[in-house]
Amino acid sequence: MSGMWGNKIKLSIFGESHGKAIGIVIDGIKAGTEIDLEYIRKQMKRRAPGFSKLSTPRKEQDEFEILSGYFNGRATGTPLCAVIQNSNTHSKDYEKTASLLRPGHADFTGKIKYRGFNDYRGGGHFSGRLTAPIVFAGALCRKILEEKGIFIGSHIKSIGTIEDSKCFKFTSIEKSSLEKLSESKFPVLDENCGEKMQQYILKLKEEGDSLGGIVETGVINLPPGIGDPFFESVESTISGLLFSIPAVKGVEFGEGFDISKMKGSEANDEYFISDNNVIKTYTNNNGGILGGITDGMPLIFRTCIKPTPSISKAQKTVDIEKRKDALLEIKGRHDPCIVPRAVPVIEAAAALSLLNLMED
Amino acid sequence: MSGMWGNKIKLSIFGESHGKAIGIVIDGIKAGTEIDLEYIRKQMKRRAPGFSKLSTPRKEQDEFEILSGYFNGRATGTPLCAVIQNSNTHSKDYEKTASLLRPGHADFTGKIKYRGFNDYRGGGHFSGRLTAPIVFAGALCRKILEEKGIFIGSHIKSIGTIEDSKCFKFTSIEKSSLEKLSESKFPVLDENCGEKMQQYILKLKEEGDSLGGIVETGVINLPPGIGDPFFESVESTISGLLFSIPAVKGVEFGEGFDISKMKGSEANDEYFISDNNVIKTYTNNNGGILGGITDGMPLIFRTCIKPTPSISKAQKTVDIEKRKDALLEIKGRHDPCIVPRAVPVIEAAAALSLLNLMED
Amino acid sequence: MSGMWGNKIKLSIFGESHGKAIGIVIDGIKAGTEIDLEYIRKQMKRRAPGFSKLSTPRKEQDEFEILSGYFNGRATGTPLCAVIQNSNTHSKDYEKTASLLRPGHADFTGKIKYRGFNDYRGGGHFSGRLTAPIVFAGALCRKILEEKGIFIGSHIKSIGTIEDSKCFKFTSIEKSSLEKLSESKFPVLDENCGEKMQQYILKLKEEGDSLGGIVETGVINLPPGIGDPFFESVESTISGLLFSIPAVKGVEFGEGFDISKMKGSEANDEYFISDNNVIKTYTNNNGGILGGITDGMPLIFRTCIKPTPSISKAQKTVDIEKRKDALLEIKGRHDPCIVPRAVPVIEAAAALSLLNLMED
Amino acid sequence: MSGMWGNKIKLSIFGESHGKAIGIVIDGIKAGTEIDLEYIRKQMKRRAPGFSKLSTPRKEQDEFEILSGYFNGRATGTPLCAVIQNSNTHSKDYEKTASLLRPGHADFTGKIKYRGFNDYRGGGHFSGRLTAPIVFAGALCRKILEEKGIFIGSHIKSIGTIEDSKCFKFTSIEKSSLEKLSESKFPVLDENCGEKMQQYILKLKEEGDSLGGIVETGVINLPPGIGDPFFESVESTISGLLFSIPAVKGVEFGEGFDISKMKGSEANDEYFISDNNVIKTYTNNNGGILGGITDGMPLIFRTCIKPTPSISKAQKTVDIEKRKDALLEIKGRHDPCIVPRAVPVIEAAAALSLLNLMED
């Protein structure tokens, strides 16, 4: 516990990878909010598997059905439940190796936590599939933010050791650039680097290995004053939700870990009054957040995604039933690199966090 | 909002840097828990200012008074309130420059958030002083964990560009080494590096500048099975609380951001059965957490602290009253580097988070 | 907001009377808990409409489908979602009178609250149908309590002005008597009174009118020490959930409102040591709760249910579109008295509340 | 747990009757809210003991000190902590009878709950004294409501068997009448009945006995649309907080339990359009709440207070140390009837609940 999250907007997620369905209940969407199904489908399509050589062949349309809270094209203001059926499941793949702990997965910790009673098939509740409902909820919030002029976008900063040569300009990001990234199946600022990254992923795929990466996200046009000091700081809220996404191992804001290498005189973002009489900073090392509260500069954060633990290479492991060492060769179907599909999930987490922190 | 945090153990913090007092209410401490006042004082002493050339000359004993929930040396099981008086305040230092926004501080965001009604003196509620009550609560929890055999310790991994040459051995950390670090005023694994770091801090202090750094924390003897998938993952809970600490800009677990440079076959922690029939991993790149749940290996995380924003060097800023650009020279009394004093706060956050996630 | 409730066990309900489906997500059920589907069906059958002349002819099997959190007959420990399809809906009944506010219903308050965007058909989200998922969740908890030897039962204390001549013996209730009541379609202690009540309901039904009543509930074998002072008192928790049930207008514990007529010397429950060295009270005017905490005596409370607002008699109302007075004659299908169907809902609320307050 | 309550406004209470101090932290008061200390003192004076022959001679000024969240006469928007020192304690009164369970008190349940570690002196944390901080917080909220034109008032409907002959007119209550009641030390609608009640209390006091009563509360000018269906209904929220007040055993809204005696055609509040084009109801049997949401009519509820359990008459009890039956004669200082002092606490609970449910 808990599969429930939030204050102003509350989420309740449920489901297992090979169960009947996965889904989410969202409470707190204002009555009358237009629900743009096309927009939601577009966001979910960005995450859905099976549509690229870079992702698992498990093809899931991720077609959702809204069971409640939706009437005449709008949110009723009462809890909205959306369900996604699990169609394309190969449970057999898992049963034969059920007692072999997959390294890097939650097989072991899940067995301990749930005392052996959890649904192990395809990772069960731990599956990345559970991020689909989060993208659904995030799309609802993202649309609401866009109507306030707030836009979110990300580029893949690195895949393994290959970096995107370009970087967001922390002090100002173009809306058009964020939109372009959101349209891309493999969002990068430097297409050549993007090409190299994809080639590298395919190469590792052939080797039966996998890769991770870093995603850099920017949010523009946030008003200053969002968030709170201490327990509901913008960083606390966003990081708490980002670390709920399977495979995330690090989160940093602004210059993040590199800010520790600067002197105070370099790190401090000095103020000036811009032409239109808005208070801005010359630099944005703090990533748009001071004292846990937005300062009106672009919100910048980076999320680290570990390599997909599912690889077909043989791995040393333990047979937890027989209680002895063993060798594991995973068949199944897997993503050689989850990073591109993680991008919309990260953005959904940002949208959910920010809407939760905004005063109406 | 909110100054309240937690599930099994709930915190409610309050106070401003130059107000009458700061404090905390802690609810959920089991009735009968021995309250070791000396142990708590020791932890708070680690954070208290004014006891080293490296910290601000503002000397605060941080003597706490327990107002409730404490009877005959034990927790009563009802809410425990502890208050710390603000003794040594120089409010004058702030009034003359009240309308000048200090770069890197929350002056601007606080003014916007609270519409100009917040207590600005010494940063008011945003002051690092508010971490004293968190250390108080953390000490309570830390003692409870120690009685379960669970120990927490940290070393300063870097100050500015100077690194500790040694690193925690992720797969096994000695209890004695954690204890030694907890006793040290400036905890490092390589004393020579520690010397260099401290010299560097004093040098920057003379220049009227400041430094940040990275703290690496380890927790040993955690049983497997603590934490939950998704919204209450160990990473979500700890990072949420760490990012509540002023000046924290990045958090990573295990290999953190570097895990993104590995291949899956390198990143996965393979399993084996140890002599005493315990399931362990050969490596610990995941920092003791899989699927948001502890796996019994040492819990490892790093926290990035930005350079103290208060520097005496002149800085460009804005006079928010006069609505014009201005130059700021901060007098006051400040830490040239907050990292050593941040260590006990980070450890307190870990203790609070873990106790909150543990099943009784 | 909010459709989410609970601490140790969390609920998230959703749905509208004439939407696709209604349902619930339950988080916090211990992994490995046997899910007795027959037991749950039996509880839900007690609430289901259409199976008695006393209830609405709208026949709903209330067949639930478990989408998640359930594996090999047991709870997995992850969120359990159950969905109930809406089969037998006559939405037409409502559309023609959509703008006429039904007295005693939430038509007016719902329209204001949700600014006209809520699903009005059949009361939408306000429908008593939403209590079906609560009974589902309550049945799960009730079974867990029964395995601890704790039993819940209720008798209809009154319907309109007709009273059950018998009353629970506050100081000791037989398990067999609670079980007998749970088996009964119309639970009373004095069958003759039960007959009179049912005749009265049918008489009012013919008149196109309706009735309410009072339900008295007892819970036995609760250990002392459950609950907390103040905000999580047993009374606070149970009443909070009972008042979430549509049509409940009063809740009292033990002697309830009548205790205000006693003197302290009469009201105080004096203590004695029973044969088996258990501390008991001679009387139980406090209904098994002192200081918000159970004292080991039977827990006793009464819930007042108002008459079903849906009556076919003509009523004065307002046409909210035309903004003018109007006359309303409700057709549709309604319960002349909801009390018998409310009993299992009340018991579910008690089970949920108590399990939430119990230390593991 | 828990001593913490609320969503939009959060409370954290602490303290024991004979400890150093009691107090509260309030989070969520809007920055800039004027804090009218005189108004708060006036409300607290209404609850304070020792100022009437009807109450305990324990004289407590209940002088509060605000430690934080308050600056230049206004709320800063950060957590506001107020502390009340315990001055006039006679702990000796309790020590000699510490092992004798006082009937009607929480001595037994507290000992079990807290395994003997709680502070038993004067009831410790269970003491009615803990309602002083709730009145403090309620006064803050009540003032905010008054500025919105919303007024709260109560009359003592009965003391023991003596009733106030007059009753609130449910469909319209004069603001002046509520204000008059708030000024009165013993608020009733019929002064003669009030006289009789007070004489009765003094008579019982001489007999060493005590009395309870029923308080009827009205809130006027609430806009329609406050509250939610199900878990955050107005009734759920108010009753949850009312049942947190020691000695409360029953809560009902509108006609409450009596509504169960009416037919639907009598109970339903029919609608009409008033002169000023506002939608009103001819009657107000539902007490201003439909579907858990306010309908704009006066909010009406009644709270039942049990007789003060502390009486000087000899009572049968148990010596929990010696594990044997015993006789108890309480000396100490007690209220023969707590009802008049409970009135401001009940009103504070209503103010806190309503402000929590109001959309900004």
The per-residue pLDDT of chain B, averaged, comes to 94
> Which residues in chain B (103-122) have CB-CB distances under 8 A to chain A?
103-106, 108-110, 112-113
Residue at token pair 């102003």: A8
Interface list for D 201-230 with C (CB within 8 A) = 204, 209-214, 224-225, 227-230
Per residue in B229-272, pLDDT tens? 999 999 999 999 999 999 999 999 999 999 999 999 999 999 99
pLDDT the model gives residue D122: 87
pLDDT digits (tens, 9 = 90+) for C310-342: 999 999 999 999 999 999 988 766 889 999 999
**Between these two residues, C76 and B88, which has the higher pLDDT value?**
C76
Q: Would you give the distance in Å from CA A120 to the centre of its chain? A: 23
Q: What is the pLDDT of residue C87?
A: 82
- Over residues C184-192, the mean pLDDT reads 97
* Nearest alpha carbon to residue A131 among A301, A310, A339, A358: A339
D7 in contact with B, Cβ within 8 Å:
no
- Residue B90: pLDDT band by 50, 70, 90 thresholds? low
> How many angstroms separate the CA of residue B300 from the nearest CA in chain A?
11
- Collect all residues of chain C within an 8 Å Cβ-Cβ radius of residue A80: 14
Output the tens digit of pLDDT for each of chain D's 360 residues.
Answer: 789 999 999 999 999 999 999 999 999 999 999 999 999 999 999 998 876 778 777 777 789 999 999 999 999 999 999 999 998 666 666 666 789 999 999 999 999 999 999 999 989 999 999 999 999 999 999 999 999 999 999 999 999 999 999 999 999 999 999 999 999 999 999 999 999 999 999 999 999 999 999 999 999 999 999 999 999 999 999 999 999 999 999 999 999 999 999 999 999 999 999 989 999 999 999 999 999 999 999 999 999 999 999 999 999 999 999 999 999 988 766 889 999 999 999 999 999 999 999 976
Residues C49-59, mean pLDDT to the nearest whole number: 76
Q: pLDDT digit string (tens) for B345-360?
A: 999 999 999 999 997 6
User: Interface pTM (ipTM) of the complex?
Assistant: 0.97
Q: How far is CA A320 from CA A97, A309, B326, in A?
A: 11, 19, 67
Residues contacting residue B294 through CB under 8 Å, at least 6 positions apart: A109, B222, B223, B224, B225, B226, B227, B234, B288
Whether the CB-CB separation of A218 and A173 falls below 8 Å is answered with yes
Would you list the DSSP string of B293-310? EE-SSPEEEEEEEPPPS-
Q: What CA–CA distance (Å, rounded) separates B109 from A229? A: 10
CA–CA separation, C326 vs C324, rounded Å? 6
Q: In this structure, how many other beta carbons lie within 10 angstroms of the beta carbon of residue B31?
A: 18
Say yes or no for a CB contact (<8 Å) between B14 and D83.
Answer: no
- Tell me if chain A has a CB within 8 Å of the CB of B2: yes
pLDDT tens-digit map of A295-344 = 999 999 999 999 999 999 999 999 999 999 999 988 766 889 999 999 99
* Sequence-ordered strand ranges (E) for chain D: 4-5, 10-15, 21-27, 64-66, 70-71, 74-75, 80-85, 151-159, 162-163, 213-220, 248-253, 271-273, 279-281, 289-290, 293-294, 299-305, 315-319, 324-328
pLDDT of residue C3: 94
Is B124 near chain A, with CB under 8 Å?
Answer: no
Q: What is the pLDDT of residue C89?
A: 66
Is B7 near chain C, with CB under 8 Å?
yes
* Residues of chain C positioned with their CB less than 8 A from the CB of B359: 360
Taking the C-alpha atoms of residue D148 and residue B356, their distance in angstroms, rounded to an integer, is: 40
pLDDT in tens, B264-311: 999 999 999 998 999 999 999 999 999 999 999 999 999 999 999 999
Which of B22, B109, B311 has the most A C-beta neighbours within 10 Å, making it the best mutation to test the interface with A? Answer: B109
Residue B182 CB partners (closer than 8 Å, separation 6+): B46, B152, B153, B347
Is a pLDDT exceeding 90 seen at residue B71? yes
What percent of chain A lies above the pLDDT cut of 70? 96
User: For the segment A281-290, what is each residue's pLDDT rounded down to a tens digit?
Assistant: 999 999 999 9
pLDDT band (50, 70, 90) for residue A52: confident
Interface test with B, best of A1, A101, A109, A127 (most B CBs within 10 A): A109
Whether pLDDT at C94 is above 70: no
User: Count of H helices and E strands in chain A?
Assistant: 9, 18
Three-class SS of residue C305?
strand
C317 touches chain D (CB under 8 A): yes
Is pLDDT above 90 for A95?
no
Compare D88 and B341 and report the one with higher pLDDT: B341
Q: What is the CA radius of gyration of chain B?
A: 21
Q: Which chains touch D (3 or more CB pairs under 8 A)?
A: A, B, C
Q: In whole angstroms, how far apart are CA C25 and each of A4, B216, B281, C29, C70?
A: 10, 39, 35, 11, 12
To the question of whether residue D196 is assigned a binding role by annotation, the answer is: no
CA distances from C186 to C218, C246, C307, C341 (A): 16, 20, 17, 9
Mean pLDDT along residues A100-112: 96
For the ranges A180-184, C238-242, D59-63, the lowest mean pLDDT is seen at D59-63
pLDDT at residue D19, rounded to an integer = 95
Strands B162-163 and D74-75: unpaired
Backbone angles phi and psi of A293, in degrees to 5: -125, 140
pLDDT of residue D234: 98
Binned at pLDDT 50, 70 and 90, residue C115 comes out as very high
Contacts of D184 (CB under 8 A, 6+ apart): none
What residues are paired with B328 via a beta bridge? B315
CA atoms within 13 A on the CB side of D243: 35
Number of inter-chain CB pairs under 8 A, A vs C: 184
Distance, C-alpha C31 to centroid of its chain: 27
Is residue C93 scored above 70 in pLDDT? no
- Name the residue among C214, C227, C80 with its Cα closest to residue C158: C214
Task: Name the CATH superfamily, with its identifier, for domain C4-358.
Answer: Chorismate synthase AroC (3.60.150.10)
**Lookup result for tokens 């809520």:** C118
pLDDT reported for residue B248: 98
Q: What pLDDT is attached to residue A55?
A: 78
Is the CB of residue B276 less than 8 Å away from at least one CB of chain A? no
pLDDT computed for residue D235 by the predictor? 98
Distance of CA C116 to the CA centre of its chain: 28
Q: What pLDDT sits at residue C324?
A: 94
- CA-nearest residue to A33 within chain C is C117
By the 8 A CB rule, do C127 and C62 touch?
no
In sequence order, which residues have a C-beta less than 8 Å from that of residue B206 and are 6 or more positions away?
Answer: none
- For chain C, what is the mean pLDDT? 94
D81, B37 contact by CB (below 8 A): no
The whole-angstrom separation of Cα D68 and Cα B25 is 13
Lowest mean pLDDT among B22-26, C121-125, C178-182, D213-217: C121-125
Name the packing angle between helices D339-357 and D234-242 (round to 10°).
140
pLDDT at B57: 73
What is the gyration radius of the CA atoms in chain A, in angstroms? 21
Question: A359: which chain D residues are within 8 Å (Cβ-Cβ)?
Answer: 360
A117-132 per-position pLDDT tens digit: 999 998 999 999 999 9
